[in-house]
Structure 1
Amino acid sequence: MDLTTTRVNYRLFEKEDFDIFYSVFSNKDIMRYAWIDEFNSEQEILPFFEDFLSVDDMPNRNNSYAFAAFSKEDNSFIGFADIQIHSRNDGGGCGEIGYFLMPKFWGKGYATEVAGAMTDFGFECLKLHKVCARCNANNFKSENIMKKLGMTLEGQLRKVRYKRGDWDDEKYYGILREEWQSKKR
């Protein structure tokens, strides 16, 4: 299963992608606001990586689709993008997007493009009713991406993310299918 946007090509992570996956989840700067800490060894991250592998275009063990993102310009690895399906039903269901980019691609609009691709995939391919995203309340750049996608702040959970000895709040954003459709027009 491959996706494409203006500047980015996406494909599901494969076993051969361990090194690029590790380059994201072991990077302290990338993981600064993530809900988990960075991994410090390849052995430690291997089970986590294996949970993100899909088979035959089906969701993986996490009930998500995890994509490796590459620049169309020079095929360099941009980062990780996924959508996790929280529920499926006759009305479509709900999913949550996530994205982590390599630092050299920060501040150039790639995160918005990648997050938008996951949102579009959720509505167009998975036929979801709602797509949401969460961020550390201190991660203003990620929050701005959610706003650019047309998501609405639905709540803030107090002191739910524990990172390096501190508790941080988490913001929860979402967009409904009909809101996404009207934004696409």
Structure 2
Amino acid sequence: MPALPSSFSTQRLELRSYTPDDAAWYVAMATRNRAHLARHEADNAAMKIVTIVDAITIIRGFNEEADAGESTFLGAFNRSNGDFVGQIYVGVSNADLPGYLIGYFCDEAHVRQGYTVEAAAATLTKLFEDCGAQRVGLWCDDTNIASQHIAKRLGMRQEGHVRADKRLADGSVTGSLCYGLLRDEFLAQQTP
């Protein structure tokens, strides 16, 4: 399989893998976004970070997964000022196909500015054009309207709805939506 992307740029963003030098600001970002991520991203690594040591451990884990070709975590940074605006996750779902999964979150200070769509769209392009993806999937909570809108803006189709499959920290029970984008669909989107 081709290597997962580790850095690339868009018009407004620089996306790159994290390094241990990112640990201090990663702690601040995780702390700042804790309430923002609590409902739909309770399992996100950022939710477990309290200290710089925690952040270094998480970042090293990200890098080990990337080196093994299993997944990659990319920080999305504003090219004009260097601000962190979000994170993209790419995982391998089927190495033989190849098929991938993506996930994302937007920093609370940068929601509704189009950064997540821009970062995720560029990631899809990398996966289809550079990694030979036949399929890219996405799972999100069925109450996460923002994530559903992003998936649709990316041209993904809702393929399934697993109802009442998890209990959230607040005690509510929600389901999961499965979205997918196939290679033919991606290529058709690229034709003017």
The interval holding the TM-score normalised by the smaller chain is 0.7 to 0.9
1:85 and 1:95 in contact (8 A); partners too? yes
1:87 and 1:95 in contact (8 A); partners too? yes
Distance 1:30 1:134, change over 3 A: same
Deviations 1:36-69 (A, max 9, x none): 1632623666544332125xxx824581121111
1:126 paired to 2:136? no
Worse overlay, 159-168 or 65-74 = 159-168
Alpha-carbon distance, 1:167 to partner: 2.2
1:108 aligned residue: 113
1:176 aligned residue: 182
1:166 aligned residue: 172
1:35 and 1:161 in contact (8 A); partners too? no
SS in structure 2 of the partner of residue 80 of structure 1: strand
| Structure 1: tracts of 5 or more residues without a match | none
1:80 and 1:99 in contact (8 A); partners too? yes
Worse overlay, 69-78 or 24-33 = 24-33
Equivalences for 1:133-148 in 2 at 5 Å? Answer: 133-148=138-153
TM-score, normalising length from structure 1?
0.86
Out of 66, 69, 74, which is 1:59 matched to?
66
TM-score, normalising length from structure 2?
0.83
1:25 and 1:31 in contact (8 A); partners too? no
The separation in 1 between residues aligned to 2:79 and 2:149, in whole angstroms, is: 25
Equivalences for 1:1-185 in 2 at 5 Å? Answer: 1-26=6-31, 27-34=34-41, 36=43, 38-39=47-48, 41-42=50-51, 47-53=57-63, 59-60=66-67, 63-89=70-96, 92-164=97-169, 165-185=171-191
Equivalent residues, number = 180
The separation in 2 between residues aligned to 1:31 and 1:157, in whole angstroms, is: 21
SS in structure 2 of the partner of residue 84 of structure 1: strand
Deviations 1:115-168 (A, max 9, x none): 112211211221111001111111111101000111000001122233212221
Deviations 1:18-53 (A, max 9, x none): 234334544221342125163262366654433212
Higher helix proportion = 2
SS in structure 2 of the partner of residue 133 of structure 1: strand
| Structure 2: tracts of 5 or more residues without a match | 1-5
Percent identical residues: 22
Alpha-carbon distance, 1:102 to partner: 0.8
Letter in 1 for 2:77: F
Cα RMSD after superposing both structures:
2.2
